[in-house]
A and B are shown apart, each in its own frame.
Chain A
C-alpha cells in the first residue's frame, strides 16, 4: 500500500469517528430535549449511547481494535473498565445502602 492510499484510509477513520460521534451526541441530547423517554429507560438508553460513543472514539481516534497487535492495549483498557466498574459500582452500593440505614 502506498503512503497516499494509507493516508486516505486513515483520514477516513478520523472522519468516520467524527460523523458517528456527532450522530450519537445529537441522539443523546435529542432524547433529553424531546422528553420521549423517562425514568430508568432513559438513563439506560443514555448510558448505552455513551458506551457506544466511547467505543467509537477508541476505535476511530485511538485505533484500538481487535487486531492481534492491539491485544495488549485492548486488554489493558478492558481490565481498567473492570476495575472502574467494581470501584464505581461498589462505592454506589455501599453509599446507597448506608443512606438507607440513616
Chain B
C-alpha cells in the first residue's frame, strides 16, 4: 500500500498520480451510491423474510423452490469473478498496456454470463414446474429479490462491455481508468450482496 489511500477499492497511488488524485472524489461519490443501492436490497430482504414465513399460503414453500447445488455453483462463479476482477484491477494499475487487463475482464464477463445463465435456467425450471411469482407472497418476494440482484449483474456486464469498447477505442485514458475502478467497486459489492442471498434465502430457506 502507498502511504495514502484515497478511496475504497484498489488505489492507483504512484502508478498514475493524476488519476489517483482525481479518483478520490468520484470513488467516494460512487461509494455513496452503493450504500443507497444496499438500501434497496435491505428492503427486499426484509419483505422476503417476512413473506417466506407468513406468505406461503397453498403455494410451494422454500424447500420445494430452492436448489442448493445450483446455488453453490452460482456462488462459486460470482466469487471467482470477484477475484478475476481484482486481477484486472491489478493489471490496470501496474501494466502500461491494457492486454492483460482485457483478458481478465473477459474472463470476469464470462463468469458473470455463467452466473446469469444459471439463474435464468433456475427460473425457467421453476416456471416449467408451474411455480411462478404470482402464486404467493413468498414466491413474489423470492423472484423479486433474486431478479433484482440478477439485473444488477446484467447492468454491470453491460457496463463492462462499454468499458472494454472504450479501452479499445480510446485506450487507457484517465476517464476510462476511473470508470473501470468504479465498476470494480460495483462488482465486488454485488458479490457481497450475494453472500446475503445465498445465506438467508438458500441456506436458511432450505431448512425451513
Contacts and interface: CB of A to CB of B under 8 A. Distances in A.
B46 interface: yes
A61 B82 contact: yes
Interface string B37-75: 011001101110110011000000000000010001001
B47 A91 contact: yes
Interface in B70-105: 72, 75-76, 79-80, 82-83, 86-87, 90, 93-94
A42 B5 CA distance: 39
Contacts, number: 133
Given A17-B86, A73-B8, A76-B35, A57 B192 contact: yes
A96 B50 contact: yes
Chain B binding site: helix, strand, loop or mixed by DSSP? helix
A58 B185 CA distance: 10
Given A29-B72, A33-B68, A91-B47, A47 B199 contact: yes
Contacts of A57: 82, 188, 191-192, 195
Interface in A1-38: 3, 6-7, 9-11, 14-15, 17-18, 21-22, 25, 28-29, 31-33, 38
Interface residues of B, number: 55
Contacts of A96: 50, 53-54
B2 interface: yes
Contacts of B86: 14, 17, 61
Nearest to A28: B203
A99 B83 CA distance: 43
B159 interface: no
B10 interface: yes
B128 interface: no
Given A7-B90, A63-B5, A99-B54, A43 B10 contact: no
Interface in A64-78: 64, 67, 69-70, 72-73, 76-77
B108 to A, nearest CB: 13
Contact of A3 (B8, B80, B94, B207): B94
Contacts of B189: 62
Interface of A: 3, 6-7, 9-11, 14-15, 17-18, 21-22, 25, 28-29, 31-33, 38, 42-43, 46-47, 49-50, 53-54, 57-58, 61-64, 67, 69-70, 72-73, 76-77, 80, 83-84, 87-88, 91-92, 95-96, 99
